[in-house]
Amino acid sequence: MSKEKIRITAFVPDELANEFTEITRRIGVSGTALLNMGLPAELDYLSELPAYSEKAAATWRAYAALVDTVGTPSRRFNITLDRQDAERLDQLCLEKRVPRNVFIGCYLDFLVSGAEGVCEAPLKKVSEILMNPRHEYEETRRSAPAIDEEFYNPASGESKTIKAVPQGNPYSSLLMVRHAYKFLDLEHLDLWNRLKERETGAPENR
């Protein structure tokens, strides 16, 4: 049974929205679809945060009113969530005294910029992986030993092995296929077909 869906609308700073949209387009995913999937898990983090004081909440409201007054450019996001997730989002924002637009804006900022000193930007990392899937593969090839290396700890009596990473052509499997076809030339294939015809009783094509 499908869950009931509900669409919510959020407004975030235009500059942040543009950066988020640019990255998601570059990696070929829908920004709104990404938010649909990611926000429910992000609510678990919000639930662990302490609530803002009433004074801090009032400051947020005043800031929001100022933004509306001076007409700071903002982008509208329509996000479709399961009804229970949408209701939980509203309830948590109410409990924590955080405007919903601010929370969603902070989430977008984390996706785009990461957390300084803690982790790199998630979307940047995903973008690098999707646009060059072999990046990590090549980094490992450059840093890994060419042959297995054994390390022994006399204190504990334990040994550790750092496995070698193949340093050759990353498309070695394709080379194997090419060599296999080179070996199975037309003459060999013709002989193979004749043998199969004899086994099955099918007439030979002469």
What would the pLDDT profile of 94-129 be if each residue is shown by its tens digit? 999 888 988 999 999 999 998 888 888 888 888 888
From the DSSP assignment, how many helices (H) and strands (E) are in the chain?
Answer: 9, 4
What would the pLDDT profile of 148-193 be if each residue is shown by its tens digit? 777 778 778 788 877 766 656 566 555 555 555 555 555 555 665 6
Give me 176's structure tokens.
């194997």
- Residue 157: left (phi > 0), alpha (psi -120 to 50), or beta? left
Distance separating alpha carbons of residues 206 and 194, to the nearest angstrom: 10
pTM across the whole model:
0.64
Distance separating alpha carbons of residues 72 and 12, to the nearest angstrom: 10
Sign, CA dihedral 45-46-48-50, equals positive
What would the pLDDT profile of 57-75 be if each residue is shown by its tens digit? 777 667 666 655 555 678 8
Number of Cβ within a 10 Å radius of residue 17: 21
Backbone angles phi, psi at 47, to 5 degrees: -65, -25
